[in-house]
Amino acid sequence: MKTVKKMGFTLLPLSASHGVMHILATALPALSLLVKDEFQLSNTTIGLLSFAFAAAIGFGGIPSGMLSDRSDGIKLICIGFFSTALLSAFLLIVPNFLSVALIFIAIGFLLSLYHPAALSYIAKSFSETRGKAYGVHELGASIGIAIAPLIAGFISLYYGWRFVYPVLAIPAIFIALLLIRLQRDSKRYRKEQSREGQSNVTDLIVFFRQIIKTGSIRKVYITECIFGFVFVGALTFVPVFLDEAKGLGPALAITVTCVFTAGGAIGKVIGGHFSDLRGERKVMAIGFFLTAPLFFILPLLPLSWAILTLALAGTILPTVLSAIISSVGKEIEPSRTGIAFGFLLLAGFGFGSISPLILGLVSDSFGISAVFYPIVVAILIGGLLNSA
């Protein structure tokens, strides 16, 4: 009973913080349509903004992972949330697109502190129940991703897109204050971390070589690159597609995008369950192959069927992510989870950041409906990679 209470006391604040982090990370791609309208931007420029934001999250994962293996992970998370809240206030007053872009790039770097710190903390705190702990932690992410477009669309509808991040800063501050209570428990792990050895550039190089030389690990990270490409690109241009091709209007298009993100909670549970039964690679392959035809037919469908198709794709695609996380947890020793998940963040958001840029160029050149065909190609590559 004490163990259950301890897990709840530790994991519920972390799961809530995971949800807030993903709301903050998911809101910008959903809001890109409104940013585009205010500053009269092209789809290519919107893709560039999403590229910069996702790249900041991804490339920030490496130094964040190194820091999380050698310092207090809870403190890093709190610093990220407090700083994000402060920067969000400036969105209300900055006058031009360049200022907005710079603020979002800075927020991206701050959000990169979260995953390596939190996942490393869980790995060291729950050695015997790590799988259950990751499951509870991922529940927060699933809920956050599901409701992010809904929250962003609702706030934008009544107050404008500039108020979205300042409003989201309120729960971020509250969660950070709640997490401070965990610091007392986390301090006892610092000695263990120092005995295990601190992360440095040498550890980073050694781990990078491990990825290159170990085929199973290499495939996992390549799969995460593909998943990031598909998810970040779809999240950025689904609302644009619903606005330009289906005529929903910007705020409503952003809100309806939640049908794509809402199924993630169910998909992750299904993916985790079948990863244990059938193996992670099989789940990755099936998840990709089932999603490909849905994105292929999406531009051809009327609005009601397009929404249903997005809901199915948003449920099936996250099964791949559960398999990826499960694979990393099995392949990597706990003392290097910070670096491991830092590289995973780089693979997902870093490589995924290329997607909005490419899709923006495709959209401006061939029309908004064409953005889904590069996504289909990437999905098929991911399926073939894991079925070989």
| pLDDT number for residue 377 | 96
In the chain the first and final C-alpha atoms are separated, in Å, by 45
| pLDDT number for residue 97 | 93
Q: What percent of the chain has pLDDT over 90?
A: 37
Let me know: does 50 contact 28? Beta carbons within 8 Å.
yes
| pLDDT number for residue 117 | 82
Rg (CA), the chain: 20
**Segment among 59-63, 194-198, 341-345 with least mean pLDDT:** 194-198
| pLDDT number for residue 343 | 78
CA quadruple 193, 196, 201, 207: dihedral sign: negative
Classify domain 7-182+199-387 at the CATH superfamily level: MFS general substrate transporter like domains (1.20.1250.20)
pLDDT mean over 332-345: 68
Measured between alpha carbons, how far is 316 from 310 in angstroms, rounded to an integer? 10
pLDDT mean over 45-61: 88
274 or 300, greater pLDDT: 300
Whole-number average pLDDT of the chain: 83
CB neighbours of residue 101 within 10 Å: 18
**Segment among 215-219, 263-267, 281-285 with least mean pLDDT:** 215-219
Quick: pLDDT tens for 239-272.
999 999 998 888 888 888 888 988 887 888 788 7
Q: Which residues make Cβ contacts (< 8 Å) with residue 227, sequence separation at least 6?
A: 317, 320, 321, 324, 348, 352, 382
CA quadruple 20, 25, 30, 36: dihedral sign: positive
Q: Which residues make Cβ contacts (< 8 Å) with residue 196, sequence separation at least 6?
A: 335
Checking if the pLDDT of 126 tops 80, the result is no
Checking if the pLDDT of 71 tops 50, the result is yes
| pLDDT number for residue 313 | 95
| pLDDT number for residue 8 | 60
Number of H helices, E strands in the chain: 21, 0
Burial of 118 from C-beta contacts in 10 A (0-12 / 13-18 / 19+): buried
Measured between alpha carbons, how far is 238 from 368 in angstroms, rounded to an integer? 9
| pLDDT number for residue 67 | 75
Measured between alpha carbons, how far is 243 from 303 in angstroms, rounded to an integer? 11
84 or 9, greater pLDDT: 84
The pTM assigned to this predicted structure is: 0.81
The two structure tokens encoding residue 325 = 């996380």
CA angle 247, 248, 253 (to 5 degrees): 130
Quick: pLDDT tens for 165-198.
999 999 999 988 888 876 655 555 444 444 444 4
287 or 137, greater pLDDT: 287
Measured between alpha carbons, how far is 170 from 81 in angstroms, rounded to an integer? 10
| pLDDT number for residue 281 | 87
pLDDT mean over 325-337: 67
Say which amino acid occupies 269.
V
**Segment among 99-103, 144-148, 326-330 with least mean pLDDT:** 326-330
| pLDDT number for residue 192 | 47
Q: Which residues make Cβ contacts (< 8 Å) with residue 19, sequence separation at least 6?
A: 140, 141, 143, 144
| pLDDT number for residue 2 | 46
| pLDDT number for residue 217 | 77
Q: What percent of the chain has pLDDT over 70?
A: 83
**Tally of residues, the chain:** 388
The two structure tokens encoding residue 195 = 């005995």
| pLDDT number for residue 332 | 65
